[in-house]
Amino acid sequence: MRRAGRMTASQQKALAELWPEYGVEYSAARLDLDALFGRHAPRVLEIGFGNGDSLVQLASDDPASDFLGIEVHDPGIGHCMIAARSAAVSNLKLIGHDAIDVMEQQLAHACLARINLYFPDPWPKKRHHKRRIVQPAFLELCAGRLEPGGSLHIATDWANYAEHIDAVLAESPLFDCAERREHAGDRPLQRPPTKFERRGLRKGHRIWDWRFEKIDL
Ligand SMILES: C[S@@+](CC[C@H](N)C(=O)[O-])C[C@H]1O[C@@H](n2cnc3c(N)ncnc32)[C@H](O)[C@@H]1O
């Protein structure tokens, strides 16, 4: 599941040198986030952070919160750690493993204030739509890991994925849509621009951003 990809020498060096500072090994045991971050604070999870530039920016802009990033692509993890070191952030930890496993196994019930899912793989071919991460079972997992009042932020640049997200979330008894924006890259919702967003904009795509609030049952 880990994607080695092509790594630059500096990304390889970062993985070796900076992993002890920022990295968390995957295991099937629950993480004690207070022990991991050395404090009790609101926790933000980013799923599939890519090269991590936007994750590091969010962590740097909000030192009162702790940020946990999950990504399977090793070069992205290396890039993110280099950016984290140059921004001198101390409220960021990374896990290099499948996000569903991590959420199911390592994260406790109601441990997160916010989940960010920015530009998830769109799987544009119809026969691949079932691989899209936004599905009812995923929403159930997110709702279980969010604390009361927690929020799920999603963005995409694929019109067909936006329709899918609207449909799956409209059917969900677990989340309310608190905010929805369709824009040209000029109105990101409580987030910095991301690498894949810029790539989509260069192709002439529009951008959709949502903030869903967990419904307290
Ligand atoms: C289209 S990219 C978007 C990256 C970044 N969020 C951005 O906007 O630039 C999707 C990312 O999700 C990661 N990804 C896909 N499935 C994943 C999973 N199950 N667990 C963790 N990361 C995953 C991919 O490796 C990829 O980096």
Query: pLDDT (tens digit, 9 = 90+) per residue, 45-98?
Result: 999 999 999 999 999 999 999 999 999 999 999 999 999 999 999 999 999 999
Does a structural domain hold residue 37?
Answer: yes
Q: How far apart are CA 96 and CA 215, in angstroms?
A: 30
Quick one: pLDDT band at residue 2, thresholds 50, 70, 90? Answer: low
Contact between residue 96 and residue 23 where contact means Cβ atoms under 8 Å apart: yes
Phi/psi at 157 (5° precision): -115, 15
Q: What is the CATH number of the domain that holds 14?
A: 3.40.50.150
pTM over 0.85: yes
Q: How far apart are CA 91 and CA 68, in angstroms?
A: 8
Separation of 172 CA from ligand 1 center, angstroms?
Answer: 23
Q: Give the domain range for residue 124.
A: 9-214
Does a structural domain hold residue 2?
Answer: no
Q: Whose CA is nearest to atom 7 of ligand 1?
A: 196
Catalytic-labelled residue, pool 121, 157, 209, 216:
121
pLDDT of res. 1: 54
Does a structural domain hold residue 85?
Answer: yes
Pocket test for ligand 1, best of 26, 46, 49, 205 (most atoms within 8 A of CB): 49
Does a structural domain hold residue 4?
Answer: no
pLDDT of res. 4: 66
pLDDT of res. 50: 98
Nearest atom of ligand 1 to the alpha carbon of 155 = 8
Nearest atom of ligand 1 to the alpha carbon of 70 = 21
Nearest atom of ligand 1 to the alpha carbon of 199 = 9
Quick one: pLDDT band at residue 15, thresholds 50, 70, 90? Answer: confident
pLDDT of res. 13: 85
Q: Whose CA is nearest to atom 23 of ligand 1?
A: 48
Q: How far is CA 94 from the centre of its chain?
A: 11
Question: What pLDDT, in 10s, does the model give residues 16-57?
Answer: 899 999 999 999 999 999 999 999 999 999 999 999 999 999
Q: Structural domain tally of the chain?
A: 1
Which residues does ligand 1 sit against, CB inside 6 Å? 3, 47-50, 70-73, 76, 98-100, 118-121, 194-197
pLDDT of res. 88: 97
Contact between residue 187 and residue 131 where contact means Cβ atoms under 8 Å apart: no
Question: What pLDDT, in 10s, does the model give residues 121-138?
Answer: 999 999 999 999 999 999
Does a structural domain hold residue 115?
Answer: yes
Contact between residue 156 and residue 120 where contact means Cβ atoms under 8 Å apart: yes
The residue whose two tokens read 């940020």 is: 67
pLDDT at 7 over 90: no
Does a structural domain hold residue 41?
Answer: yes
Does a structural domain hold residue 51?
Answer: yes
Task: Please indicate whether residue 98 is annotated as part of the active site.
Answer: no
Separation of 90 CA from ligand 1 center, angstroms?
Answer: 23
